[in-house]
A and B are shown apart, each in its own frame.
Chain A
Amino acid sequence: MINTLSRMIRTGILTETFPAPASASPAMDRLQKDMRNILGRALCIRHVDAGSCNGCELEIHALNNPYYNIEGIGMKFVASPRHADLLLVTGPVTANMEEALKRTLDAMPDPKLVVAVGDCGACGGVFGKSYASRGAVANVIPVQRTVAGCPPSPVAILEAIRSAVIEA
């Protein structure tokens, strides 16, 4: 126990600060401001893997490490879609996951947002559209934001989530 405690103390706080995002336009709607003030400060994210190769999952896991520390900015991942505000989808949406993805979105209460992660989520990536793959998340459910990259870096994913909320 002493070992553990001393290692905790020696490590210190590791979270990095990120450059502030580009400031929102001054003519931002009142509704958008509310959305940002309400959702943006306590965002609950539900992740669904709709057939990704698990590379994007690794970068999403990285969001929980002490460097990026998504909980420190008031966002967290939740277990139930009923608790969630934002649906984070990875993968090109396989035929076998289409129904599960749609059901998850239906189970989320309004207001809700969808962010598609990775080249696969944006446009099918290297898999494209085929008998097994729907080609892009937007082909199945409405998407507010996409993050390109294979896989996209954690900072890029965070940026996309932020901008999805601010410019919702």
Chain B
Amino acid sequence: MMHEPERSIGNLLSNLPCKSKVVGALDWHREAGNVRAAGGQLLTLWGADDRDRDGSFRIFAAYLLDDGIEVLEHAMGNGITPTYPSLAELFPCALHMERAVYDLLGIASMEPDHRGWLRHGGWPRSEFPLRRDFDASRQFAIDSQPYPFVQVEGDGVHEIAVGPVHAGTIEPGHFRFSVVGEKVLRLEERLGYTHKGVSKRFEQMQQAEGHRLAARLSGDSAVAFSWAYCAALEAITHTGCPPRAANLRALALEHERLANHLGDLGALGNDAGFAFGLTQFSRMKEDLLRLNVAAFGARYLLDFVQPGGVATELPEDTPRLLLDHYLVLEERVSGLRVIYDNHAGLQDRFREAGTLSRESAVKLGAVGLAGRASGVPLDLRVHHPWPPYDRMKPKLVMQSTGDVAARVYQRFDEVFESLRLCRMILENSVAGPIQADCPLAEPDRLGLGLIESWRGPVIIALESGPGGTIRRCHAHDSSWQNWPLIEYAILSNIVPDFPLINKSFNLSYSGHDG
């Protein structure tokens, strides 16, 4: 099977400036090296089964550079096991992504780690769910094998296995600690417990409803995901989202950011034994959610953003209501910031726990909130803004120490910045329609939607099929980059500090597992 000749970079449809290129195996690795040398980051990696089209499998990698996104596409012939060069040594975050691609499609990178990542025994080794000839409705008997965790040997080394079911109300994931006494020598994470087959499910849906599934990938980032999906669809259908709808989408996204930050700040106080923090912040979060009902019609905005615009308009007196509430919220959060700052016990827990240095963060490819707290200056709203952020000029919020305290202050500062942006949206509101007509996309168009959710950049890569169907949709949450960070941040910390460190990152299990 002949590989496609190298094409020069062409434009790819997206809400951000985006280029794409088809490459051969050698260039796949070489280009990645160039990106790394230029200080770029790997955003996401996904594969596709195109045997029905041209007899090959494809692997795609999306990189973030200073001037925008670059997508590399590489086609492999349909051999016994199609392979492609691994990117893991250049971009450590690619390791899990490549394992996931293998589990779903059976295309292997040349990396030696072949333990199943998403496949826990729910389907046989020889089956690959995302291949077109796999019937999604099949159910298999569970064949659970013990997962070969990396063993640590030495005097007095114990293993503590935590999960998947945890003591509190939290998503399932497994953490294997190798400890001496209370000190952690090594942490290995095992995820994939909430894998629901979202990629396969997309292929059964129409383009016009895909945003509903995208939103439910990770409920706490519903607005971001649905917006990313709609942005991708609007790009490939050349639909322009009306300015008022863009404003409302941004308002919803900032509300989502606020709700999550308020919840996290309370939970972090609670995890350090300071229940006062939980009370105050959970109360503010509840007030905000009730305000969401008044403004948008629901506490959590899973169906607010839809292709072409948004679902509902703000009721008559809502802007005034929102602006008044923002003042109250700002005053309360400021007061609580002072309390958190001055509470010696709390600061003793937060400072120098779970430190991720700037060097490690850059090397490991940290993105989003965790990255900014360690001094990695990356916020899509600031560096690659899309409407309406291109007019609003958001400020970059960053910390430098990279410990739990930094991630706490990062949230505080982002709350204030979000409130400023919300005020800007409401005070400069434009009138107009909230919905544009979004037609069916031409088949075989690839579009990318990128949005900065509260955790970090979320990406939807959407390929259209005939008759308004979805041929392939890949959803990526920043948790893919950030989960491996915890394995480094926990080193030289003690076991009881793990819940606090984990919560300070607050990564998505479901958004990761898909």
Interchain CA distance A98-B139 in the complex, whole Å:
12
Interchain CA distance A133-B216 in the complex, whole Å:
14
Q: Which residues of A contact B216 (CB under 8 A)?
A: 53, 55, 125-127, 150
Q: A104 at the A/B interface (Cβ < 8 Å)?
A: yes
Which A41-72 residues sit within 8 Å CB-CB of chain B?
A: 47-62, 64-67
Type the 1/0 row for B254-285, where 1 means its CB is closer than 8 Å to any CB of A.
Answer: 00000000010001000000001011101101
**B167 to chain A: closest residue by CB:** A79
Q: Which residues of A contact B136 (CB under 8 A)?
A: 130-131
Beyond A53-B217, A54-B509, A55-B300, whether A97 also contacts B193 by CB under 8 A is yes
Q: Which residues of A contact B217 (CB under 8 A)?
A: 53
CB-based contact B196/A51 at 8 Å: yes
| Of A7, A49, A96, the contact of B122 (CB 8 Å cutoff) | A96
CB-based contact B122/A94 at 8 Å: yes
Interchain CA distance A127-B513 in the complex, whole Å:
13
On chain B, which size bracket covers the interface?
35 or more
Q: A91 at the A/B interface (Cβ < 8 Å)?
A: yes
CB-based contact B164/A52 at 8 Å: no
Q: Which residues of B contact A58 (CB under 8 A)?
A: 219-220, 263, 300
| Of B138, B140, B219, the contact of A56 (CB 8 Å cutoff) | B219
Q: Which residues of A contact B222 (CB under 8 A)?
A: 55
* Partner-binding segment picked from B15-23, B41-49, B168-176, B444-452: B168-176
* Partner-binding segment picked from B228-236, B336-344, B360-368: B336-344
CB-based contact B122/A131 at 8 Å: yes
Which A80-131 residues sit within 8 Å CB-CB of chain B?
A: 80, 91-92, 94-100, 104, 125-131
* Partner-binding segment picked from B50-58, B197-205, B429-437: B197-205
CB-based contact A54/B508 at 8 Å: yes
CB-based contact A127/B286 at 8 Å: no
Q: Which residues of B contact A104 (CB under 8 A)?
A: 165
CB-based contact A52/B195 at 8 Å: no
Q: B213 at the A/B interface (Cβ < 8 Å)?
A: yes
Q: Which residues of B contact A54 (CB under 8 A)?
A: 171, 218-220, 508-511
Interchain CA distance A51-B299 in the complex, whole Å:
21
Most B-side CB within 10 Å, residue of A61, A67, A79: A61
CB-based contact B195/A94 at 8 Å: yes
| Of B121, B282, B508, the contact of A66 (CB 8 Å cutoff) | B282
| Of A57, A91, A131, A153, the contact of B197 (CB 8 Å cutoff) | A131
**B200 to chain A: closest residue by CB:** A130
**A153 to chain B: closest residue by CB:** B299
Q: A40 at the A/B interface (Cβ < 8 Å)?
A: no
Most B-side CB within 10 Å, residue of A51, A130, A133: A130
Q: A20 at the A/B interface (Cβ < 8 Å)?
A: no
CB-based contact A11/B280 at 8 Å: yes
6 CB < 8 A contacts A-B: A7-B335, A54-B171, A57-B171, A57-B219, A65-B286, A150-B302
List chain B positions with a Cβ less than 8 A from chain A: 120-123, 129, 134, 136-140, 142, 144, 164-165, 167-172, 192-198, 200-201, 212-213, 216-220, 222, 263, 267, 276, 278-280, 282-283, 285-286, 289, 299-300, 302, 335-336, 338-339, 342-343, 508-511
